[in-house]
Amino acid sequence: MRPWSIFIGFDPRESDAFAVARASIRRHLNLPVPIFGLVLSDLKEKGLYHRPTEMRASAADRPVLWDVISDAPMATEFSISRFLVLHLAKSGFALFCDADVMARANVAELFMMAENDPSKAVWCVQHDHKPTSTIKMDQQIQTVYGRKNWSSVCLWNLDAPANKALTLDVINSARGRELHQFFWLSDNDIGRLDPEWNYLVGESAPIENPKLCHFTLGVPSMSGYQDCEFADEWRKELRRWAS
């Protein structure tokens, strides 16, 4: 069996979300899979990430992090750095999750699926996500593009030949939308995960018992999202972690 690893995006504005993501994933795991946080300052210090960014004013009259190459806002510090997972883990299978997820099942199921059929370069829930609002989270700009949220939860086959095209130079120079659309892969390289593994709270069609909830609009600690679906469960997970 090849190595398994888990990476979670980290943004200091979402430290409570990161805590819930990591704790909930770890609590349901029945195997010792290492979990790492993607911290942008660390990745810059290691020379892995050197895309030019700056702070710009937004329509919401607050500064937002801006990716100069894409000429687009970055809702989180890990908007682009998520693709460095392929260079950090190096081999085997690696699961990436946005910080604002909450596991309700054992993600080892995903790794076992990949072990049984390692024919794909990546697996993800192939959403047809067309956001209904222009603002999300803490007044961040909601961007719209094809294959939106495909890369928010994805399982990488790090040994797939097709992924060798995603070099550090490409990650640091390609437009963000191209990266999020897996532009270096053919459609046949992209496997499907069941929608229950990336349930977009407030956006996805209802699922009775999703295995991984993604609070893509905002976690329950943010203003306006305190009463969203699964909010009580999310707060319970946060209290369990803090106790």
Q: What is the pLDDT of residues 76-116, one digit of tens each?
A: 999 999 999 999 999 999 999 999 999 999 999 999 999 99
pLDDT of residue 64: 87
pLDDT of residue 38: 98
62 CB contacts (<8 Å, ≥6 apart)? 139
Q: Say which CATH number the domain at 199 has.
A: 3.90.550.10
pLDDT of residue 193: 98
- Provide mean pLDDT across the span 132-136: 54
C-alpha to C-alpha distance for 17 and 155, rounded to whole angstroms: 20
Which residue, 87, 37, 76, 89, is CA-closest to 176? 76
Count the alpha carbons within 13 Å of 95 in the hemisphere toward its beta carbon.
30
C-alpha to C-alpha distance for 151 and 134, rounded to whole angstroms: 20
At 27-85, the pLDDT tens digits run 999 999 999 999 999 999 999 999 999 998 766 567 889 999 999 999 899 999 999 99
Query: For the chain, what is the mean pLDDT?
Result: 93
Which of 21-25, 134-138, 161-165 is least confident? 134-138
pLDDT of residue 128: 85
pLDDT above 70 for 131: no
Query: Structural domain of residue 227, as residue ranges?
Result: 4-242
The number of folded domains in the chain is 1
pLDDT of residue 142: 52
pLDDT of residue 195: 97
- Provide mean pLDDT across the span 206-216: 96
